[in-house]
Chains A and B, each alone.
Chain A
Amino acid sequence: MWAMFLGCSSAAILKLDLYGSVPVFVQTARNAIMTKNCHNDYKMKFPTDEEYPDLSAHNNHMAKVMNRELYDKLRSKSTPSGFTLDDCIQTGVDNPGHPFIMTVGCVAGDEESYEVFKDLFDPIISDRHGGYKPTDKHSTDLNFENLKGGDDLDPNYVLSSRVRTGRSIKGFTLPPHNSRAERRAVEKLSIEALASLDGEFKGKYYPLCGMTDAEQDQLINDHFLFDKPVSPLLLAAGMARDWPDARGIWHNDNKTFLVWVNEEDHLRVISMQKGGNMKEVFRRFCVGLQKIEAIFKKHNHGFMWNEHLGYVLTCPSNLGTGLRGGVHVKLPKLSTHAKFEEILTRLRLQKRGTGGVDTASVGGVFDISNADRLGSSEVQQVQLVVDGVKLMVEMEKKLEKGESIDDMIPAQK
C-alpha cells in the first residue's frame, strides 16, 4: 500500500525503525537501485558482535563515543542516498589517531548524515565544540561591518592575513560519497557561479584535468594549487576517488580570492592578502561569499545550512562557520615564553606552522587562527583573531624591549 503512495517503480516498503526516530527506507526488489557502497542489507545478516570494529588502540572522537549499543542501534540505518554508519566511521577505524592529537574519526556523506546518525554525531560535536548541545542554536553573521578594527595590525609583524571557510551545495552528496556525475554537477554549477563574478572578483577557473604545465607552475608559485590528498584521514574516507575528475581552482585576477572545488568539501573559499589588514580580507570574504551564494540559490541549489549546525560540511570539526581566520605573524620571543600556550588558549586561538595544519613553525613565524567553529558567529571569531593578534604583537614588542608581559596576560575569553 505504501508502495502505491510512493509511486516508486521498484517495490519499496517504508519500515519504521524500532529503535530510532528515523524510518529506514528499505528497498526489496532485487533490481532496485541504490547508490554505491550500500550493501548494508547484506551486512545486517551478521550479528553486531561480529561486525563491531576493534577500537582498542584508538584515540579519536569517534572511538571515544562508540560502543556496542550505539553501533547496534545505528548499523541498520541509512541516509536516503545510501550512506551508512560504517561509511561514516571507516576513516576513524582505519586511522587509530595520535596519542597527542585528537582527530575526529568520522565524516558525513550527505546533509542527512548528521540527522540519521545523530546519536553518533551529537556527542562528538559536543566534545569537539566545547560542549555544544543538541538543542543549541548557531548564529551566522557575515556582516563585515560588525567587525571592529582589524585594519591596523602591524605589518612588520603580521606578514599575511587570510580567512577561509567551506560550503556544501544542497541537493548533492558530499565528497566521501558522491558519484562522478554529482561531483561534475557541483563543478559545473560552481564554474557558472564564479564566472558571473565581476569587479574585484573577476577571475578564472583552472580545472585540475587539462591544466597546462605553465598554469600549474604559476598556481604552485602562488601557493594556490591543491594536490591529491595524501593524508590517510582523507583517503580512508574516500575523498580522493576519481582524482582529478571535476576538481579545480578558481581565483580572481588580483589573486586575493580563491575557491577550491571538490577537494575535502564541495567548495573551500579563501580570502587573503599580504600584510595585516584583516578587515579588508574579511570584507572581501563576506562580500564574495554572499555573491556566490546568491547565484547558487537562483539555481535552487543553495548552501547546506541549518540553525542548529550552521553550515554543514564533510568533517564535523568544520560545522558552524567552517571559518578559520588567521595570520602569519612573527613572534620569535613570545613563542618561546613560558605562558605562550596559556595565552593562546585564553584568547581562543590556535597556532600552526606556516605550512598549515600539522607543520612546524619556521623562523619564529606562526600561523595563528581561531580555534572555534561552532557556537559563535563569523564576526565573533574573526574579532577574536584581530584582538588576540593585536595583543600578542604588543606583547612581542614589550619582550623585545626586555620588559615583562605579566600584566598583559588576558582573562579567558
Chain B
Amino acid sequence: MASSFTRMLSSRNTAVMLASLGASALATGYLMTDSGVTAEQRMKMYPPSADYPDLRKHNNCMASALTPAIYARLRDKRTPNDYTLDQCIQTGVDNPGHPFIKTVGMVAGDEESYEVFAELFDPVIKDRHNGYDPHTMKHPTDLDASKITSGMFDEKYVLSSRVRTGRSIRGLSLPPACSRSERREVERVVVTALSGLKGDLSGRYYGLTDMTDQEQQQLIDDHFLFDKPVSPLLTCAGMARDWPDARGIWHNNEKTFLIWINEEDHSRVISMEKGGNMKRVFERFCRGLKEVERLIQERGWEFMWNEHLGYILTCPSNLGTGLRAGVHVRLPLLSKDARFSKILDNLRLQKRGTGGVDTAATGDTFDISNLDRLGKSEVELVQLVVDGVNYLIECEKKLEKGQDIKVPAPLVQFRR
C-alpha cells in the first residue's frame, strides 16, 4: 500500500489511484492505458499558444480580431452551459473565407457566449456593424409599423416584398450547441405559440421528420422548404447535427407569414407577398411577432434580448434587429449604370441574386435589401429600404426618359 501511495502522490494518474483503492474491476479500464490523459492534464500539457489556430490565410472578422493574448485569456473559459471559445470560432478556423467577401467567422452557442467571450465578440461586432460598440452603445427596438411612410412601391418595378428576422428562446442553447432535447423544446415552445395565432395569421406546422411527399412538394413549389444546410459555414458550426430532428416549417393559410424552426436560428420569421405593399408586409410582420411573443410569454418563456445587442441570434451579423427587409425589383437600365453600386452603398442597401445570399441575379431582377442590422431600429431600417427602393425606381424612370441621375449623399450610420 505504501508504494502505491507514493506513486499516487507523485502522479495524478487516476488509474493508479483506483488500483490502490482496491477497485480492481474499476481499474481495468484505466489501467488498460497508463497514458490515459485527463482533461486537466491536457490543459497543463498544452498551453494556449500550442492551440492557437493558424489564421494566416484567413479573411474573416474573427481572424482579424483574434490575437494570441485574447485566445490565451479566453481558451479555458466556459459559458454556464459549458460552451467554449474553440467551439465559437471553429467555423471561422475551418472556413478561411473569400478574398472579396468577409464572413464573420464565429457563432454563439448560447446567450452567455456574447458576454463570456465579449473580448472577442465585441471587436467582431464592431467590425461587422460599422463601429457599433456593444459596451457603450444601446440598440433601439421599434416594431410600430404605423410609422412607415410611402411604403407602397410601383408594381411595374417591384415584383415582391419581404421582411425577415430571427428570434431565440431565452434559456435554451442556440443551434451550434443545443442538445436534441433543447432543440425539441424550442420546437414545442414555438409551435405551441403559433397554434394560438388567429385570423389572417392562423396556419399550420409541417415538421421535417414526418412530412408527406405531397406536403414536401407543395412547400418546394411555394419556395418555403428549407433544406439541410450544405454551406460549410453552417455545418462546421454544428448546426446540421441530428438533422432533421425537431426542424420544421410553419406558415399561415394565406402563405404570407412563414416561420422556420431550428434552422440557423431557433426561429426565422418571414412576412412576404407578391407586389409592392411593403407597409402591409411590415405591418403583418410586427403584428405576428408581437402576437407570438405574447403567446410564449403566457407560458413563461421570452425572447433573448438585451439593450446593447438587441435580439440575440446565432450569428453576430444578425444581432440587433436581425432584420432583412427587401424587394425583388426590376432595374434593367440602372443595373447597367456604372454608378449602381455606389448608389446602393450610399443608400445602405445591398443587392443579391433572386436566389438569396450568394446567388447571381437573373436577368434584370435584383433582390435589394438593407445592409445594416444593429444600431438602427426595425422601423428605421424598413423606412430606409422604402426610401432607398423608391429612389432606385426614380432613377430607373429617369434613365427610361433619357434623363440623368444623381448619386445620393451617403446616409448617416447610426446615432451615437
- A-side residues, CB < 8 A to B, are 5-10, 12, 14, 16, 21-23, 25, 27, 31-43, 46-47, 50-54, 79-82, 86, 90, 93-94, 110-112, 115-116, 170-173, 179-182, 184-185, 209, 235-236, 240-243, 245, 300-301, 304, 306
B84 near A115 (CB under 8 angstroms)? Answer: no
Q: Given that A23-B18, A39-B83 are known contacts, is A112 also in contact with B29, CB under 8 Å in the complex?
A: yes
The B74-131 residues at the A interface (CB cut-off 8 A) are 76, 78, 80-84, 86-87, 90, 93-94
Q: Given that A46-B179, A80-B36, A81-B42 are known contacts, is A38 also in contact with B243, CB under 8 Å in the complex?
A: no
**Top 3 closest A-B pairs, CB basis?**
A39-B82, A50-B181, A181-B50
Determine which of B8, B35, B46, B242 lies in contact with A94 in the assembled complex, contact meaning CB atoms within 8 Å: B242
User: How distant is the Cα of A241 from the Cα of B94 in the complex, in angstroms?
Assistant: 6
Determine which of A93, A94, A242, A301 lies in contact with B93 in the assembled complex, contact meaning CB atoms within 8 Å: A242
The B36-84 residues at the A interface (CB cut-off 8 A) are 36-40, 42-43, 45-46, 50-54, 76, 78, 80-84
B90 near A241 (CB under 8 angstroms)? Answer: yes
User: How distant is the Cα of A38 from the Cα of B46 in the complex, in angstroms?
Assistant: 18
User: How distant is the Cα of A86 from the Cα of B245 in the complex, in angstroms?
Assistant: 15
User: How distant is the Cα of A60 from the Cα of B12 in the complex, in angstroms?
Assistant: 39
Q: Given that A21-B26, A306-B32 are known contacts, is A93 also in contact with B8, CB under 8 Å in the complex?
A: no
Contacts of B51 in A (CB 8 A): 179-181
A115 near B90 (CB under 8 angstroms)? Answer: no
**Count of B interface residues, CB-CB < 8 Å:** 56
A38 near B82 (CB under 8 angstroms)? Answer: yes
Determine which of A41, A81, A184, A236 lies in contact with B82 in the assembled complex, contact meaning CB atoms within 8 Å: A41
From B20, which residue of chain A is reached at the shortest CB distance? A5
User: How distant is the Cα of A51 from the Cα of B245 in the complex, in angstroms?
Assistant: 11
B29 near A21 (CB under 8 angstroms)? Answer: yes
CB distance from B184 to the nearest CB of A (A): 6
Contacts of B204 in A (CB 8 A): none
A33 near B37 (CB under 8 angstroms)? Answer: no
Contacts of B14 in A (CB 8 A): 6, 14, 25, 80
User: How distant is the Cα of A243 from the Cα of B30 in the complex, in angstroms?
Assistant: 31
A47 near B181 (CB under 8 angstroms)? Answer: yes
User: How distant is the Cα of A40 from the Cα of B179 in the complex, in angstroms?
Assistant: 10
CB distance from A114 to the nearest CB of B (A): 9
B241 near A93 (CB under 8 angstroms)? Answer: yes
B87 near A42 (CB under 8 angstroms)? Answer: no
Contacts of A43 in B (CB 8 A): 179, 181
CB distance from A26 to the nearest CB of B (A): 11
User: How distant is the Cα of A111 from the Cα of B31 in the complex, in angstroms?
Assistant: 12
User: How distant is the Cα of A116 from the Cα of B32 in the complex, in angstroms?
Assistant: 11
User: How distant is the Cα of A344 from the Cα of B349 in the complex, in angstroms?
Assistant: 64
From B81, which residue of chain A is reached at the shortest CB distance? A42
User: How distant is the Cα of A56 from the Cα of B59 in the complex, in angstroms?
Assistant: 42
Q: Given that A50-B181, A116-B29 are known contacts, is A90 also in contact with B241, CB under 8 Å in the complex?
A: yes
From A182, which residue of chain B is reached at the shortest CB distance? B46
B29 near A7 (CB under 8 angstroms)? Answer: no
Determine which of B18, B37, B38, B87 lies in contact with A37 in the assembled complex, contact meaning CB atoms within 8 Å: B87
Contacts of A14 in B (CB 8 A): 14, 17
A80 near B26 (CB under 8 angstroms)? Answer: no
Determine which of A51, A90, A242 lies in contact with B94 in the assembled complex, contact meaning CB atoms within 8 Å: A242
From B10, which residue of chain A is reached at the shortest CB distance? A7
CB distance from B109 to the nearest CB of A (A): 9
Q: Given that A21-B26, A80-B14, A81-B37 are known contacts, is A35 also in contact with B53, CB under 8 Å in the complex?
A: no
Which residue, B40, B90, B243, has most C-beta atoms of chain A within 10 A? Answer: B40
11 contacts between A and B (CB under 8 A): A6-B12, A6-B14, A23-B26, A31-B76, A42-B179, A111-B36, A112-B30, A179-B42, A179-B46, A242-B93, A306-B32
Contacts of B78 in A (CB 8 A): 39
User: How distant is the Cα of A245 from the Cα of B93 in the complex, in angstroms?
Assistant: 10
A22 near B26 (CB under 8 angstroms)? Answer: yes
A35 near B29 (CB under 8 angstroms)? Answer: no
B33 near A22 (CB under 8 angstroms)? Answer: no
Contacts of B17 in A (CB 8 A): 5-6, 14
CB distance from B382 to the nearest CB of A (A): 38
Contacts of B25 in A (CB 8 A): 21
Contacts of A7 in B (CB 8 A): 9, 12
CB distance from B69 to the nearest CB of A (A): 17
Contacts of A31 in B (CB 8 A): 76
Determine which of B8, B42, B80, B83 lies in contact with A35 in the assembled complex, contact meaning CB atoms within 8 Å: B42
Contacts of B86 in A (CB 8 A): 36, 179
Contacts of B26 in A (CB 8 A): 16, 21-23
B184 near A50 (CB under 8 angstroms)? Answer: yes
Contacts of A46 in B (CB 8 A): 179, 181-182
A33 near B43 (CB under 8 angstroms)? Answer: yes
Contacts of B304 in A (CB 8 A): none
Determine which of A9, A23, A53, A111 lies in contact with B33 in the assembled complex, contact meaning CB atoms within 8 Å: A111
B150 at interface, CB cutoff 8 A: no
CB distance from B173 to the nearest CB of A (A): 8
From A242, which residue of chain B is reached at the shortest CB distance? B93
User: How distant is the Cα of A343 from the Cα of B45 in the complex, in angstroms?
Assistant: 53
A35 near B35 (CB under 8 angstroms)? Answer: no
Q: Mark B188-228, 1 if CB is under 8 A from A, else 0.
A: 00000000000000000000010000000000000000000
From A49, which residue of chain B is reached at the shortest CB distance? B181
Q: Given that A21-B26, A39-B82, A179-B46 are known contacts, is A8 also in contact with B242, CB under 8 Å in the complex?
A: no
User: How distant is the Cα of A349 from the Cα of B80 in the complex, in angstroms?
Assistant: 52
B343 at interface, CB cutoff 8 A: no
User: How distant is the Cα of A16 from the Cα of B81 in the complex, in angstroms?
Assistant: 24
B29 near A184 (CB under 8 angstroms)? Answer: no
User: How distant is the Cα of A280 from the Cα of B209 in the complex, in angstroms?
Assistant: 53
Contacts of B45 in A (CB 8 A): 181
A38 near B36 (CB under 8 angstroms)? Answer: no
